[in-house]
Structure formats: structure tokens, C-alpha cells
Amino acid sequence: MNIKIYQQMLLILEYLNIGGLIVDSDRRVADLNQNAEALLGLEKSEIKGHNCREVFCGLPCFSSCPLKGVWNDTIKDMDVEFLDEHRQKHRVTRIAAPLYSEQGTPLGCFMVLQDHFPYSELVSRIHYEEQSLKIILDSLNMGVFTVNRNGLLTFFNRAAEKISGYNRMNLLGKEWSILFNQKLCSDKSGLNQAMKNGTSATGESGYMFGSQGENIPVNVDYIPLMNDHGQLVGGFATLQDMTLARELDKAITERYKFHDMIGKSPVMQKIFDMVKVVAKTESTVLVQGDTGTGKDLLAKVIHSESSRRDRPFVKVNCAAIPDNLMESEIFGYVKGAFTGADRDKPGRFSEADTGTIFLDEIGEIPLSLQAKLLRVLEDKAFYPLGSSYLKKVDIRIISATNRRLEQLVQERKFREDLFYRLNVFRIELPSINDRKADLPLLIRHILRNQAAAMKKEPVSISEEAMKQLLNYPYPGNIRELENIIEHALIVCQDNVVMSKHLPLHVFREPGPYPLAGNGDGNNLTRDSAGLDLSTWTDREALLDKLRYNNWHRGKTALDLNIDRSTLWRRMKKHNLL
């Protein structure tokens, strides 16, 4: 277990006033932060190195311990109560995520303790009619809403607006169930039970529907609301955006779920249906699409939905490896194969054994290696460089390209038999311009995820900024959209992204960007806002060369008198991959 990574996570949780513990495979606490000490009411020396069942003495363990067997669900949570040094009860949500080895063996677990006391005391004093407390609730950084006995929304605070993207005036008086998935608004849900039986419910998880139709992971707590006469008049709920927790879970498990792909347009729905079918097979998949359309993500989704999900996923960027090194990188070599080969080195195919290998930019593989790749596809076997022994591998191959392989076949730059071997099941990813209906959904999804990754509170976007983003053509597709939003979030110091926060090129028409002049005929490298324009000129010059050569990287690198790996780095710098 790489404990340094999880120790850094403990420091982050410390900053957020959340307790955190690391438990190893022997059920002993390997490390913890100060908030965990405070919540448990014990010194670090009384916790670290001790069995977790001793530390949580008297409290129930999860029904399926991560160290006892593999969970079906990645995260488990439950509410427990602790007694502090003053014998006062503290209700705490305990969340645990298992930590796995590459072979899927549990190595321990990461545990989070979150105290409900800061807001539970306030909630206990709320009366339905108290407007002064509603003002206080409106200033909290936690989402809050209330409903009457008929289930109609009567209050929706600012934090809830940020989480959902809705303006409260468009929601008040409407049924609260329109905001949540079936799990959170069924007859047995916490809020319905709170209003029916007068009982509280905590830690319900599910999805909230955002203003653009996106699914927002949330945790919700409910309590019944009483008037001064003790009569049940409605329900009160607190709402926590769990986007960051979900991203953390994804980082820990290194798995990608199908719903990480976003799109409601008919073309994307058709692709989703195709992926669901082909992921469960062993078929070779070819992903075709312009640069930045998400070919990498699609390959990861196919792998994570397949029977090989717990085995290696190895990516090879064929465009980033120089031709003279490609064979040794992909197929490996044995000691003495060439000068400097002082040991055996396994290649990418060996690393992917029993799993999936993703060959990105497959059209860039030189003809000299294509025959060897064809043998791997046909026989699942190859000879490492310098070896006379055949190496057998059990792999699934997913390849991707932003070029038309049929055209390369006609130009005799790509083997026809290899093309047919790769083209068993083809998925073509559309550009953003071919799925404009998805843009508002993509913008809000990326904005939410990147704000969470930057440890920012939920950020909204102004109408003017949204309009500008909707009208931009995105030659770099989704990758360019992600970079634009990241730029805006870095510049934005408030909780609303405005037009002024967007990068300069978003406001320009597509095409070469002229340098600003100073009035006397001399060109400047900065515009009136003081922004450096030379980078954008370089980008457009490179883009023109790529277009002239029909995106053929070999010809473009030759025209620019640079090698292909340098070209790849420049393309990456300017978001042209």
C-alpha cells in the first residue's frame, strides 16, 4: 500500500475538519489525523497500531468488512454515536472505502469520520415559522430545503441553488420529488417517512437532477418539522454534494464507470447502447473520432465494464514513441538485443497480459511493425526484440485513431489485413459540433467536477458566459472545453463564472489570430487586456500545417523539420491531440 498518498488525503481531510484513518490488512490503524483523535476522544498513541475493532469498541462493524471479502459496492457508510470527554453524544457518519492491490486483494481500508454536531444543534431549534432562522440557513454552505405536508417546496437555500443549478423561484411551490431519483423520493424514503411518522433519517444517498438534466451524487438527512403545538407540518432536509467524494473514490479504485460518459443526444445514446453490448464480449474494438472527443475515456469504460475489469489496463500512445524505439517499447526486449540492453525488459503487451491494451493513434504505427502486431491479433503471441522464444499473452485489444484507416490502406501506409483485424467492432465518436444538444450538460458536468477537484465550493455560470461557450466551435472538442473551464475556474475568485473569466480565444472567430498593433504599424505580442498572443499564433501556425497535411503527423513533422515526438509535445501543449 502506498501509504504516502493516503497520508496526504488525511491532511486534506484535516483541513476540511473531517476525521480520517488508514487501516492496514491486519486490521491495525496505520495512521490518522487530529480530527479523528478528537472525535474518538483518544490520544494518537491509544489508536495507532491498535486493532480497529478495539478502537471502535462497542460499535457495530459493517455487515461486510473490506478485509473479510471483496465488496460489491466501493463505499460503505453508517451513522454511529460517540461519547466525548464530557459524556456528550456526537452523531458521526463513518464512511469506509476498501484499498485493493492490482490483483484485487484487499490491502486495508480508508475510513472517514464526519461529525454532525455543527448543524444538528441548529436544526434541533428550528421552528417552521421562524424567518430569522431561515436567513441563517440561507447563509450556510450546506444545501437546505423544506417542504409542507403536501410535499411542496417551501424553502430552498442558496447552497442548494449552487448544488442543483436551479433558481429557487422556479422551484418553490413545486413537488420536491421532481429533484431526485426514485431511491430518494419513494414512499419509503427518509423525507416521506419523516412527514408520515415523524421520524428522522440520515445519510441517504442517491442522485439529484440538476437544472441541465445531469445526475448529481448527494447525501441527504431528513427530520420532521413541528409547529409550536407539536403538530407535524412538513419536513426539513440537508443536502451534501458528494461529487468530490465520488471523484476521490474513482481516484482510489482507478475505475471508470459507464456513467462517466456524458450525453443525452441521440448519437451518444446509440453509442452508450453499443458500449453496453460490446464491453461484455472479448471482441477487438476500433474507436474512431476527432482529437479530444473522448476516445481514451471510452476505452477505459469498455475495460471497466468487461470481465477483465480487475486486470491491467495499459495505454500506448503510438504517436508519442519514436519509430526507432517503438518495437522495444511495445514488444519488449531481452538482454543483449542491442547495445545498452543489459537486462530483459517486458514490453507493453507483456504488461497488459490477462487485461486490456489500448493502442491510441494506431495509424501512426510504422509499416515495419504492423506485421508483428497482426500476429499478436491472430495468435496472441510475439517475439520480444532479440529473443528466439515465442511469448504468449492473453489480452484484449482496443485501438483508436483520429484518421481514416481506410484512406491509409488505399495509400499503402497501413496493412489491409491489419485494418480488417482491428475493425471488428467500430465505434465512431462525434465531435462537439455534431452533438450541440449535449453542450449545456457537458459544461455543467465539467464545471462541477473541476470545481470539486480544486476544492472549490459549487460554482455556477452566468448566462452571458454560458452563451459564449455554447457559440464557440471547439476545434479541440471536449478536451478543449475542459481546458477552457479549468482556465475560467483558476481566474474566477467568486462562485459565479462570468464572461471575463473565459480565455481570450473563446471570443475570437476561428482562424489565425492576428497580433494586436500599437497604431504605428508595429506588431505587439499582447492585446489590450495585456494577454500574450504569441502562443495563439504558434497554435494556429501548427494547426494550419496539420490541416495542410491532412493531419498526417509524419509529413507535418517533416515540413517543420522536427521529429514526431517533438510534434506530439507541441500538439499536446496547444490541445491539438
On the 0-12 / 13-18 / 19+ scale of CB atoms within 10 A, 19 is buried
| Whole-number pLDDT of residue 116 | 60
Q: Is the dihedral of CA 293, 296, 299, 300 positive or negative?
A: negative
Answer positive or negative: Cα dihedral of 424, 429, 434, 440.
Answer: positive
Give the span between the Cα atoms of 295 and 281, in whole angstroms.
Answer: 19
Q: Helix H segments across 357-506?
A: 367-379, 405-410, 416-422, 439-453, 463-471, 477-491
Q: Report the amino acid identity of residue 133.
A: L
**CA–CA gap between residue 4 and residue 31 (Å, rounded):** 10
Alpha carbons 491 and 482: distance in angstroms, whole number:
14
> Cell numbers at residue 241, please?
454534494
All three cell numbers of 324, joined, read 526507432
Amino acid at 449: N
- CA distances for 103 relative to 107, 362, 397, angstroms: 10, 28, 20
* Segment holding 553, helix H or strand E: helix 553-560
pLDDT at 393: 92
Whether the model clears a pTM of 0.75, i.e. scores above it, the answer is no
Q: Are strands 215-226 and 143-148 parallel, antiparallel or unpaired?
A: unpaired
Close Cβ partners of 355 (under 8 Å, ≥ 6 residues apart): 303, 308, 311, 312, 313, 314, 395, 396
User: Distance between CA 195 and CA 190 in Å, rounded?
Assistant: 9
Q: How far apart are CA 508 and CA 506, in angstroms?
A: 6
Give start and end residues of each alpha helix (H) in 141-235. Answer: 158-164, 182-185, 190-197
Return the amino acid letter for 173. Answer: G
pLDDT of residue 516: 32
| pLDDT value of position 288 | 94
What is the C-alpha radius of gyration for the chain, rounded to an integer number of angstroms?
28
What pLDDT score does 280 carry? Answer: 92
What are φ and ψ of residue 427, in 5° steps?
Answer: -120, 125
**What is the predicted pLDDT for the residue at 532?**
40
Q: How far is CA 358 from CA 272, 309, 322, 395, 470, in A?
A: 19, 14, 18, 10, 32
Question: Looking at the DSSP assignment, which residues form a beta bridge with residue 317?
Answer: 360
Distance between CA 267 and CA 32 in Å, rounded?
Answer: 48
pLDDT at 428: 94
Counting as low any pLDDT under 70, the low residues of the chain are 1-5, 15-17, 57-91, 102-104, 116-136, 139, 228, 247-260, 508-537, 577
**What local confidence, expressed as pLDDT, does residue 76 receive?**
54
State how far the Cα of 577 lies from the Cα of 564, in Å rounded to an integer: 13
